[in-house]
Chains A and B, each alone.
Chain A
Amino acid sequence: MTSETEPTPDPNKTERPTAAWPAPPTTAPASGSPGFIRIARGVSAAVLGLLVPGLGHLILGRWIRAIILLSSILAMFAIGAFWMEGRLHLPNLKEPISFFPFMANAGMGVIYLACYLTRTAFAIHAEAPTYEYGNTFLFVTGLANYLVAFDAYDIGTGKKS
C-alpha cells in the first residue's frame, strides 16, 4: 500500500541516486585552487629559503625578518669559518657518518656551494684553539637555515602570519 504523500517513481525518468553520484565540482581545477596555490607558494618560499637564507621570507614580503635572518646566519657563518677557523664537510661514501655533518653544512645552500667551488673553508685547521667551536657554528648555521626554510613554508601556506 502506497501513501498519498510519497511520489510515485516514474519508470521513464532515470534519476541519479544522490549517494552514488557525487555532485559535479563547483570549484576550479586543482591546479588553480587556492589550496594548491598556497602549497606552491610555501614550497617555493622554502626552496628559495634553502638556497639563499632569508630569500623565502623576502619573496613573501617579510623583508625585515629576511634581513635579520640573513644577517644572523651570515654572521654566524663568517664567525665560524673565518674567525674561529672551522671547516665545511664533504660527504664520504667510505664513511657514512660524514653524511650528517655534510647535511648540516649543506643547509647553507648557495653559500656552501660557493665555498665548495672556491675551496673556501674546507681546509682543516685542527691546530687552532677555536677549531671545534667554528665547526659547531657552521653546523648550527646550516641547521638554523633549515628551520628558517620551514618557517617560510608555514608563512607561504598561511599557517603563520
Chain B
Amino acid sequence: MTHLAAMSLFAFFIAVIFAIVTKQETEDQVKYGIKVFLAFMLIGLGLAWVMYPFS
C-alpha cells in the first residue's frame, strides 16, 4: 500500500464520519464531506511537498 492510498483511505473514512456527525441535511453532509476529504488530501500533499527537500 502506498502512502497516497493510505492517506486517501484515511481521509475518506474520516470525512464520512465528520460529515455525518456535524451536518444534519444530506446535501450539507455531502458538501462538507467532500470539503473535508479535499482538505485532508491537499494539506497532506502540501506538507509532503514542503518536506520533500529535507528528506
Chain A interface (Cβ < 8 Å from any Cβ of B): 65, 68-69, 72-73, 75-76, 79, 83-84, 130, 133, 136-137, 140, 144, 147-148, 151, 160-161
Contacts and interface: CB of A to CB of B under 8 A. Distances in A.
Interface string B20-41: 1100100000000000000000
The majority secondary structure among interface residues of chain A is helix
Contacts of A79: 9
Contacts of A76: 10, 13
A79 B16 CA distance: 16
B14 A69 contact: no
Given A79-B9, A133-B6, A69 B1 contact: no
Contacts of A160: 24
A69 B17 contact: yes
A148 B6 contact: no
Interface in B1-21: 1, 6, 9-10, 13-14, 16-17, 20-21
Contacts of A136: 10
A84 B6 contact: yes
B17 A73 contact: yes
A69 B9 contact: no
Contact of B1 (A68, A130, A147, A148): A130
A160 B20 CA distance: 12
Contacts of A161: 24
A73 B10 CA distance: 11
Nearest to B21: A151
Nearest to B7: A133
Contacts of B10: 76, 136-137, 140
